């Protein structure tokens, strides 16, 4: 049996052990996957310990994704662009490789599970923190007509857009600069955590706009409720992204891609 884990702080509510447990059952891979709470001041020690004891791979979650990026000896392109790492493993030469599967998870959830086009679409992203930076490269690679990043602190949005501007049509600004309609709106702010809404005008919505909240919870998020209240017909939350990023990590570690649909359904049914 090969050992894997997710590291965070706190970690008690993580769904990752359950998700990877279901993947293992489904694929017949002999793995064990647990949750580890690292002390806030010794993430590096926790990671070193895990691999020294023969652990094969780690997922990394809040608040350690940037620390994991710093700790990794090598980064994949998407982890490099994200400035954050959610998947760690040692390669044949014993080097610690950092990858980031969050953006791939988001793109796959939208395009494969939800049948939502990104290619050619006008995309609005709300927020300019780590969660948004983490997904920008795969989103741009999916070929949108444009990506507009809006943030409360406008300079963070313009700065982020500037960093990615060589990679595709991306711009940034404050919420007050939004004067057009969008096909797809992704909420990457942490406002939902507090039941808050980003201050975006409903003028950005059309009849056919679809919205995606990267957060999820037992109840509809405040952002999804806002969208529905303004006539949006399709709202999605981040549960599918959570399962898809896990599936991509599983594929990297095991070389097998699990079927995510039954796992998403299982999580939706009891949460």
Query: Which residues fall in the annotated binding site for shikimate?
Result: 14-16, 61, 86, 102, 216, 245
Is residue 153 within the footprint of ligand ATR (CB under 6 A)?
yes
Quick one: which of 58, 96, 118, 128 contacts ligand ATR (CB under 6 A)?
128
CA atoms of 107 and 103, how far apart (whole Å): 6
Provide the token pair at 270: 């009891």
CA atoms of 11 and 15, how far apart (whole Å): 9
Using alpha carbons, list the distances in angstroms from residue 166 to 79, 126, 149, 160, 169. 17, 21, 15, 12, 8
Active site residue 233: no
CB 52 within 8 A of CB 31: no
Is residue 172 within the footprint of ligand ATR (CB under 6 A)?
no
Q: Which residue is nearest to ligand ATR (CB)?
A: 129
Catalytic residue among 20, 38, 57, 65: 65
Using alpha carbons, list the distances in angstroms from residue 46 to 162, 246, 256. 35, 21, 27
**Per-residue x/- track, 52-81, ligand ATR (CB under 6 A):** ------------------------------
> What's the min distance (Å) between Cβ of 5 and ligand ATR?
21
Is residue 131 within the footprint of ligand ATR (CB under 6 A)?
yes
| Closest listed residue to residue 125, CA positions, set 150, 145, 97 | 150
Nearer to ligand ATR, 22 or 237 (CB): 237
CA atoms of 219 and 235, how far apart (whole Å): 13
Residues annotated within a binding site for NADP(+): 77, 127-131, 151-156, 214, 238
Is residue 7 within the footprint of ligand ATR (CB under 6 A)?
no
Query: In the chain, where do the E strands start and end?
Result: 2-8, 31-37, 57-60, 74-75, 87-90, 96-99, 122-126, 146-150, 170-173, 184-187, 210-213, 234-236
Nearer to ligand ATR, 55 or 188 (CB): 188
Quick one: which of 74, 196, 203, 219 contacts ligand ATR (CB under 6 A)?
196
The footprint of ligand ATR on residues 173-192 (CB under 6 A) is 189-191
Q: Which positions touch ligand ATR (CB under 6 A)?
A: 127-131, 151-153, 156, 189-191, 196, 198
- The residues that are catalytic are 65
């Amino acid at each position: 049996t090969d050992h894997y884990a997710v590291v965070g702080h706190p970690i008690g509510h993580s769904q990752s052990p359950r998700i990877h447990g279901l993947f293992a059952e489904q694929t017949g891979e002999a793995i064990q996957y647990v949750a580890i709470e690292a002390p806030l001041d010794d993430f590096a020690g926790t990671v070193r310990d895990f691999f020294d004891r023969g652990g094969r791979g780690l997922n990394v979650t809040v608040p350690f994704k940037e620390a994991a990026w710093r700790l990794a000896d090598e980064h994949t392109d998407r982890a490099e662009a994200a400035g954050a790492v959610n998947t760690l493993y040692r390669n044949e030469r014993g080097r610690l490789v950092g990858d980031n599967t969050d953006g791939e998870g988001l793109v796959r959830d939208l395009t494969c599970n939800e049948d939502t086009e990104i290619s050619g679409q006008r995309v609005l992203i709300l927020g300019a923190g780590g969660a948004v930076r983490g997904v920008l490269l795969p989103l741009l690679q999916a070929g949108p007509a444009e990506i507009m990043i809006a943030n409360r602190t406008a300079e963070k949005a313009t700065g982020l857009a500037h960093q990615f501007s060589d990679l595709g049509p991306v711009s940034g600004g404050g919420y007050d600069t939004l004067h057009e309609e969008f096909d797809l709106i992704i909420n990457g702010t942490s406002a939902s955590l507090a039941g808050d809404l980003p201050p975006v005008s409903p003028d950005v919505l059309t009849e056919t706009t679809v919205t995606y909240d990267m957060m999820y919870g037992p109840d509809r998020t405040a952002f999804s409720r806002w969208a529905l209240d303004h006539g949006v017909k399709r709202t999605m939350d981040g549960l599918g992204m959570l399962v898809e990023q896990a599936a991509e990590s599983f594929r990297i570690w095991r070389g097998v891609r699990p079927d995510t649909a039954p796992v998403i359904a299982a999580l939706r049914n009891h949460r």
